[in-house]
Structure 1
Amino acid sequence: MPEHSQDRVETLRVRRAPKISVFLIAGAALGVFVAMILTFAFDGTSQVSPNTGVEYAQTQVFGFLALICAPIGIAIGALVALLLDRRSRRHTREVSVDHASVQVDPPSSDDAAR
């Protein structure tokens, strides 16, 4: 089978960029961890709420704090990821890449008859 190949050398920029999703998940986990610490550090569940007269359970307090702390943690994680991404742009390097493409011609009708 006849083959046609093309070789060309290209110059590309390479940089190591952080995965933003990892930082967002880590920020959310950190926010939930901070909510857990705040829930158990300050025992405010034994007091009745002055506005509604309701006494909240410790799991409810944790849920409220997690709803507040998780988005803050996500925002902090995103900010750190963006700062590291901006820093990684300064450390780009150029590399030469040998790009080869090979095309195989389909067999002709004469080859199929054999």
Structure 2
Amino acid sequence: MEQHPATPTSADQSVEVQIHSAPKFWPFILTFAVLGALIGLVIGLLGEPSQEYTRASASGFFAMFGAGLGVGIGALVFVIIDRFTSRKSTKHLAVPLAEDTDSSGQQG
């Protein structure tokens, strides 16, 4: 699959392009990181208290661990959804528009 099709040599020549709907990467990563951190925070707060660590430090540890795990899971889910949606791509003909010129004949 060609990422950047060849530029047409003339304005009336069309180019075949392949289009598919893809999810956005950063919203997936951030969403799963926040969910993982919240789950880790809840686990840290609801767990048995330790004599060695305060409840706040244990909750922070679990929140950071959950956020890291959430980033990994979010990246995996992103790749799976991206592969699934790329199979449903369609081919279209792209027709270049005439270049924009101003009244003095210069491009702008």
TM-score tier, shorter chain, comes to: 0.7 to 0.9
Output the TM-score relative to the length of structure 2. Answer: 0.76
Do the aligned residues in 1 keep the contact of 2:32 with 2:74 (CA within 8 Å)? Answer: yes
Between the two proteins, the alignment pairs up a number of residues equal to 94
From 36, 45, 48, the equivalent of 2:51 is: 48
In 2, the alpha carbon distance for the partners of 1:20 and 1:102 equals 33
CA RMSD between the two structures: 1.8
The alignment status of 1:22 with 2:27, answered yes or no, reads yes
Do the aligned residues in 2 keep the contact of 1:8 with 1:100 (CA within 8 Å)? Answer: no
**Structure 1 gap segments, 5+ residues each:** 50-55, 107-114
In 2, the alpha carbon distance for the partners of 1:89 and 1:103 equals 33
Higher relative contact order, structure no. (Cα contacts within 8 Å, ≥ 6 residues apart): 1
In 2, the alpha carbon distance for the partners of 1:32 and 1:103 equals 50
The alignment status of 1:6 with 2:11, answered yes or no, reads yes
Do the aligned residues in 1 keep the contact of 2:44 with 2:60 (CA within 8 Å)? Answer: no
From 58, 62, 68, the equivalent of 2:59 is: 62
- Would you identify which runs of 4 or more consecutive aligned residues in structure 1 move more than 6 Å? none
Which structure 2 residues correspond to residues 77-88 of structure 1 after superposition, within 5 A?
77-88=74-85
**Structure 2 gap segments, 5+ residues each:** 1-9
In 1, the alpha carbon distance for the partners of 2:34 and 2:100 equals 50
Aligned identity (percent) is 24
Larger Rg: 1
In 2, the alpha carbon distance for the partners of 1:40 and 1:78 equals 27
Which protein has the bigger strand share? 1
